[in-house]
């Protein structure tokens, strides 16, 4: 299937109720997340999907860049106006990564796992990630954009030397190329389903599915916070999406944001 907005909309027309009714595809943008905000400002509906063949300033979490070559990967953003309060902002990221991981597993048959809060891993290497950005006013999320980056058809040669140990692609994992267009429709369908569960406050279903797909729970982790570094065991997540960890002194802490490293078993 050719990678055009018309083809994607045709493929999705009867299968989504909110997300993907409007789809915009670009050859090249700085960042699909930035475009998503602009489109909402221009009056595009909540649920608009932005897809680019290439990003020149792809964004990862914590100010990192996301490697975004053309013709190889999937770079997309969901521009939405959620009804959830800022208290559940982390849960939007968790909902998004559940949708993407579920879609990837079904589409590729690769056992993708989630690293809290937003990374998709295969054999300890990152195959995709989520970046949620929000504009909050008081107790209301005025607008949110959920960016999704999936390494689809990159080869070993395409991955920069400095991240070869931590990054992979669906093609490297499976030894075959995948249709980015068909994968995009699969992700949009799943996102439509899981986002509506979030809007209906069906948080337990989302958290249960996240726990099923988690590669984090039960693991020893190192967490880098703004003011300290902690070593702990990841125990669970709460209804706001925060990671509950058991510290080495036996006490518990809830983490709402931080850079998590899974430690290898000794």
Question: Do 177 and 252 have their domain in common?
Answer: no
Question: Do 207 and 109 have their domain in common?
Answer: yes
Tally of domains within the chain: 2
Strand partners, 24: 50
Q: What is the pLDDT along the chain (266 residues), one digit of tens a residue?
A: 778 888 888 888 778 889 998 999 998 888 899 999 999 999 999 999 999 988 776 555 444 555 566 788 999 999 999 999 999 988 999 999 999 999 999 999 999 999 988 899 999 999 999 999 999 998 999 999 999 999 999 999 988 888 889 999 999 999 999 999 999 999 999 999 999 999 999 999 999 999 999 999 999 999 988 888 989 999 999 999 999 999 999 999 998 877 888 887 65
pTM of the model: 0.91
- The answer to whether 94 touches 117, Cβ cutoff 8 Å, is yes
Q: Quote the CA–CA distance of 67 and 55 in Å, as a whole number.
A: 8
- CATH number of the domain residue 71 falls in: 3.30.930.10
Strand partners, 121: 113, 126
Q: Quote the CA–CA distance of 212 and 119 in Å, as a whole number.
A: 15
Q: Quote the CA–CA distance of 18 and 164 in Å, as a whole number.
A: 38
Cβ contacts of residue 65 below 8 Å, gap of 6+?
Answer: 57, 58, 59
Supply the range of the domain harboring residue 232.
220-262
Q: Quote the CA–CA distance of 95 and 100 in Å, as a whole number.
A: 9
Question: Do 34 and 139 have their domain in common?
Answer: yes
Strand 74-80 versus strand 113-115 pairing type: unpaired
Question: Do 131 and 233 have their domain in common?
Answer: no
Question: Do 59 and 188 have their domain in common?
Answer: yes
Q: What is the DSSP letter of 242?
A: P
């Amino acid at each position: 299937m050719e990678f055009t907005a018309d083809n994607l909309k045709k493929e999705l027309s009867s299968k989504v109720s909110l997300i993907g009714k409007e789809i915009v595809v670009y050859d090249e943008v700085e960042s699909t997340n930035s475009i998503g905000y602009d489109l909402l400002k221009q009056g595009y509906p909540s649920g608009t999907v932005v897809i680019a063949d290439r990003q020149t300033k792809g964004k990862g979490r914590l100010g990192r860049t996301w490697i975004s070559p053309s013709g190889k990967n999937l770079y997309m953003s969901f521009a939405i106006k959620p009804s959830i309060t800022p208290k559940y902002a982390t849960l939007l990221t968790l909902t998004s990564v559940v949708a993407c991981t579920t879609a990837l597993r079904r589409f590729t048959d690769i056992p993708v796992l989630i690293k809290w809060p937003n990374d998709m891993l295969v054999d300890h290497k990152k195959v995709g990630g989520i970046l949620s950005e929000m504009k909050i006013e008081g107790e209301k999320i005025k607008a949110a954009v959920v960016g999704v980056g999936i390494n689809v058809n990159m080869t070993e040669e395409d991955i920069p030397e400095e991240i070869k140990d931590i990054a992979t692609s669906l093609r490297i994992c499976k030894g075959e190329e995948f249709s980015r267009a068909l994968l995009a429709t699969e992700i949009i369908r799943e996102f439509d389903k899981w986002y509506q569960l979030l809007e209906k406050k069906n948080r337990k279903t989302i958290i249960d599915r996240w726990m099923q797909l988690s590669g984090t729970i039960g693991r020893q982790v190192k967490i880098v916070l703004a003011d300290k570094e902690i070593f702990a065991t990841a125990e669970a997540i709460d209804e706001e999406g925060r990671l509950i960890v058991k510290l080495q002194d036996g006490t518990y802490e809830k983490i709402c944001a931080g850079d998590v490293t899974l430690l290898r078993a000794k």
